[in-house]
Chains A and B, each alone.
Chain A
Amino acid sequence: MANAQYQRDLLNESGAEMLAICTSQLEKAKDAFLNHDSDLAEEVILNEIRVNALDLRIEKSCEKFLALYNPVAIDLRFIMAIRKINFDLERIADHACSISKYVVEVDEKISSHLFEVLQFQKMYDTIVKMLDNISEAYTNKDVKSARKVFKKDKILDKINTDSFAILEIEIKKDNNIISEALLLFSVIKKMERVGDLIKNIAEEIIFYIDAEVLKHKKKK
Chain B
Amino acid sequence: METVIEQIPLDKTIDPSLKKKAKIEVKDIKVWYDDFNAIKGIDMDIKPNTVTAFIGPSGCGKSTFLRLFNRMNDYVESFRMEGKIKVNGNNIYKKKVNVEELRKEIGMVFQKPNPFPKSIFDNVAYGLKIQGITDKQLIEERVIDCLKQVALWDEVKDDLKKSAMALSGGQQQRLCIARTLAVQPSIILMDEPTSALDPISTAKVEELIFKLKEKYTIIIVTHNMQQASRISDYTAFFYLGELIEYGKTKTIFTNPEKQQTENYITGRFG
Contacts and interface: CB of A to CB of B under 8 A. Distances in A.
Interface of A: 1, 4-5, 70-77, 211
24 contacts: A1-B266, A1-B267, A1-B268, A4-B267, A5-B268, A70-B225, A71-B266, A72-B225, A72-B253, A72-B254, A72-B265, A73-B253, A73-B254, A73-B255, A73-B256, A73-B262, A73-B265, A73-B266, A74-B266, A75-B266, A76-B253, A77-B254, A77-B255, A211-B255
Interface in B220-270: 225-226, 229, 253-256, 262, 265-268
Contacts of B267: 1, 4
B61 to A, nearest CB: 22
Interface in B191-228: 225-226
Contacts of A75: 266
Nearest to B267: A1
A21 to B, nearest CB: 29
Nearest to A70: B226
Contact of A74 (B225, B226, B229, B262): B262
Contacts of B256: 73
A133 to B, nearest CB: 24
Interface of B: 225-226, 229, 253-256, 262, 265-268
Contacts of B229: 72
Contacts of A1: 266-268
5 tightest A-B CB contacts, nearest first: A1-B267, A211-B255, A72-B253, A73-B262, A75-B266
B225 to A, nearest CB: 7
B157 to A, nearest CB: 37
Contacts of A72: 225, 229, 253-254, 265-266
A74 B263 CA distance: 10
Nearest to B262: A73
Contacts of A77: 254-255
Contacts of A74: 262, 266
Which of A5, A70, A72 is most buried by chain B, counting CB atoms within 10 A of its CB? A72
Which of B225, B226, B229, B267 is most buried by chain A, counting CB atoms within 10 A of its CB? B267
Nearest to A211: B255
Nearest to A207: B255
A77 B265 CA distance: 14
Contacts of B225: 70, 72
A70 B224 CA distance: 11
B254 A211 contact: yes
A1 B263 CA distance: 11
Contacts of B266: 1, 71-75
A139 B229 CA distance: 31
B148 to A, nearest CB: 33
